[in-house]
Amino acid sequence: MLKEKLIRRYEAELSDKEIEKAKRNDHARRKPRPCGFTVHIAKGCGGGCLYCYVDSPPRLIDISPKALVYSLLLNPLFEPGKSFVAVGAICEPLDYPEYTKEFLKELLKLRNPIQISTKEVNYDLAKILSDVDALISMCNPFDEICKKFEPKRPSPSERLEFCREIGGGVFLRPILPMIDLKTYKKGVERIAEFTDRIILGNLRLTKEVKRKLGISSLPKKYYERKKMLEDYAKNELGLIVFRSACCSNAYKHNVVCWNRCWEKGFCARCPNKCWLKTSSSF
């Protein structure tokens, strides 16, 4: 359906007040990132993960799920059915299960490739999460290690079971410099029992994160070590190791990568084979 037609349909369903609020919301103007249009269901989080740069209290967005989709449609750069959408930055979307469920239900009608990243487990959402590219995030898959860094979230064991249930991938992030390579290798072996795909994420050091983790910089061999882990996961364990989140979304939805990673040196040569897909698929 044409974008204008969709906008008119939403305007017929929403109240004038909701329409005005949605027009003012920044999703109607925000520029997409390489992974697609980032959707912030909330801002802030009370999770208290030690490596996290999000430090404001959680606050749910003040428009309804339907108005949020309308707001996205108002964005001149957003293309229904095509633009990649990424949910889960700067908050934990499953802290708001009803909102997230309604939003995904509404957005799925537009048929855009949707990705969501979560550390939570909620079997009530299993069906809808299996329809999108669900990334189950954790800094380490071993319960005792993870608990030190992510004290308020479900154990990785629970998350991995949930990941298997919904056919998700694992976002192993951030790779922490204080955990040795041997432990991480064992970690990806464990992850390989639950999924066929993984993304390894970097640690982002802000002043506050440095203080919380008690480090001043990343070790010299941080990226080298991460590359070794990536090679191990791919070559020894046969996992698909995406180098960027957009590739995971592209693979899940069988469409060409939004960021055209295969032209930029970020391609993991995954079975999606973007370079073989015709322009008509995107």
Per CB under 6 A, residues contacting ligand SF4 are 45, 47-49, 52, 54, 91-92, 119, 153, 242, 247, 250-251, 257, 261-262, 267-270, 272-274
Q: Are 133 and 91 in contact (CB under 8 A)?
A: no
| Nearer residue to ligand SF4 within complex by CB, 13 or 158 | 158
Q: In 3D, which of 202, 130, 217 has the Cα closest to residue 169?
A: 130
Least Å from the CB of residue 248 to ligand SF4: 8
Tokens 């490739």 belong to residue? 113
**Smallest separation, CB 117 to ligand SF4 (Å):** 9
- SS3 call for 224: helix
Strand partners, 42: 60
Nearer to ligand SF4, 74 or 114 (CB): 114
Residue closer to ligand SF4 (CB basis): 64 or 272: 272
Q: Which is nearer to ligand SF4, 21 or 253 (CB)?
A: 253
CA-CA distance, 169 to 190, in Å (whole number)?
A: 13
**Which candidate, 59, 60, 74, places its Cα nearest to that of 14?**
74
Smallest distance from ligand SF4 to CB 12, Å: 36
Query: Shortest distance, CB of residue 277 to ligand SF4, whole angstroms?
Result: 8
Nearer to ligand SF4, 194 or 251 (CB): 251
Q: Shortest gap between Cβ of 118 and ligand SF4 (angstroms)? A: 9
**Mind giving me the DSSP string for 190-203?**
HHTTT-SEEEE-PP
Kindly tell me which of 6 and 179 has the beta carbon lying closer to ligand SF4: 179
- Helix, strand, coil % (nearest 5) of the chain? 45, 10, 45
Those residues with Cβ within 8 angstroms of residue 64's Cβ, 6 or more apart along the chain or in another chain: 14, 18, 102
Min dist CB 233 to ligand SF4, Å, is 14
Q: What is the DSSP letter of 36?
A: B
Helix (H, G, I), strand (E, B) or coil at 48: coil
Least separation in angstroms between residue 227's CB and ligand SF4 is 16
Q: What is the Cβ-side half-sphere exposure of residue 137, based on CA atoms within 13 angstroms? A: 25
**Which of 15/281 has CB closer to ligand SF4?**
281
